Structures are given as C-alpha cells and as structure tokens.
A and B are shown apart, each in its own frame.
Chain A
Amino acid sequence: QSALTQPRSVSGSPGQSVTISCTGTSSDVGGYNHVSWYQQHPGKAPKLVIYDVTQRPSGVPDRFSGSKSGNTASLTVSGLQAEDEADYYCCSYAGSYIYVFGTGTQVTVL
C-alpha cells in the first residue's frame, strides 16, 4: 500500500492551465477506473472534484477535468482562478476494499 506519486507543487498564472499527475501501479491506478481527486484548502476538509477518472460531481466547475493513461492519472485545471489555490490529492481503489491516496500537490496561483 504505497502512496501514489504526485509532484510536490505546480503553479500557474490566472487564466492558464495546470496539470497534476498521479502515478501508481497496475494494482491500483492502472487496474481500476476508480480514481478520484480532492481539493483541500488550509484548515478545511477535502472536497471531491473528480470521480471515476473523468466524472465531475454536480457543482464542480467544468474547468476541472480528469484523465488516465496506463498507471498514471491526471487532473487538469483550466482557466486558473485564485480560489483554485489549494492542495490536491488523487485517490485510487487498489482492490480488496483497499484505497490509497497520492502524496499531494500544492497548486499556487501566481
């Protein structure tokens, strides 16, 4: 149950796009389409922004999109806004009712 690997930080100017990668193995990310992404502002609970690799929950702006290729999933935030500055975590099902989170990525809006 090793944590999924994410870049420590990414940054972009308002209006630009940033992409966060989430690398696992064939036993988690590569083996299931149950990858989700969470946004967490300081001192707050995480918020679901993408589920099942590409699906957006109701109320999440369409600026957030997800994808997957092999053992790597990605979250793209387009049209970056100040309120997007937060920590982002991926999460994958790993079989046998086990889940694993990513190491987390800090997104900075320049």
Chain B
Amino acid sequence: QVQLVESGGGVVQPGRSLRVSCAASGFTFNTYTIHWVRQAPGRGLEWVALISYDGTKKSCADSVKGRFTISRDNSYNTVYLQMNSLGSEDTAIYFCARGSPPYSSSSLDYWGQGTLVTVSS
C-alpha cells in the first residue's frame, strides 16, 4: 500500500536550519511528483513546494522562496525539504503528499502523517 513517512522535525532556534525527509513506499516513486504542505497550529493548509518525478521541475510558495529548497533521491525513494533562516512563522506540521496522476499532478492523493517543526528560542 502507498505510504509516505515524514521525519526530521523538532525544535530549532530562529535563524537556524533544519532538513525534513519524506520516505515513500508502495508505489513507483520515480513516476510521481511529491509536494510539501504545512499547517501552523490551529490554522489552515498552506502549499509549500513541489518536485517533479524526475527532479527537473521544482517550485515553491512565495512565503518560503529563497529559504527552502526541495530535492529528491529516487535511489532511496525519498524527498527532502531543506529549510534555512527559519522564523516563528515556519512553526507547523509539515506533510508530504503524492501528486496524481503519474508524471503530472492535478491533486494530492496520498498524504503522510506529518512531522512537527517548532521554531523557538
């Protein structure tokens, strides 16, 4: 079955960096776009970034542009989100999700359970 498992969250000081990971299984990983979506405590969903199935196309929200970088390693079925210059506004649960259909992405059909990132001194 399709599984996405996020890891790497934790407490980090303002201005520091953190990398979160998304390990996938149960599907042909190198044919699917992967998204990161975050949810601040008590708030709504915010789309953060995506990376295409082959890693050639990447995009991110204006709110994280220049600070966050998305990458993937298809040999390890894993997507990464490198987060730099973190601020309190980045405190959130970070979900990874699979884009569907293969080689494209009109929706996010499977989601992980999320990893909590807390930016605090």
Which residues of B have CB within 8 Å of A1?
Answer: 61-63
Q: Which of B52, B57, B61, B107 contacts A36 (CB under 8 A)?
A: B107
Q: Is the CB of B107 within 8 A of A52?
A: yes
Give the interface centre of B57, B100, B107, B109 by most chain A CB atoms within 10 Å. Answer: B107
Instruction: Determine chain B's interface SS by DSSP, over half rule.
Output: strand
Quick one: given A3-B44, A48-B109, are A99 and B114 in contact (CB under 8 Å)?
no
Q: Is the CB of A101 within 8 A of B106?
A: no
Is B111 engaged at the interface, CB distance under 8 Å to the other chain?
yes
Cα separation A93 to B33 with both chains bound (whole Å): 14
Q: Is the CB of B111 within 8 A of A47?
A: yes
Q: Which of A51, A91, A96 contacts B59 (CB under 8 A)?
A: A96
Binding site for A on B (CB under 8 A): 35, 37, 44-47, 50, 52, 57-59, 61-63, 95, 97, 100, 106-109, 111-114
Q: Lowest 3 CB-CB distances: which A-B pairs, in order?
A: A51-B107, A97-B59, A36-B107
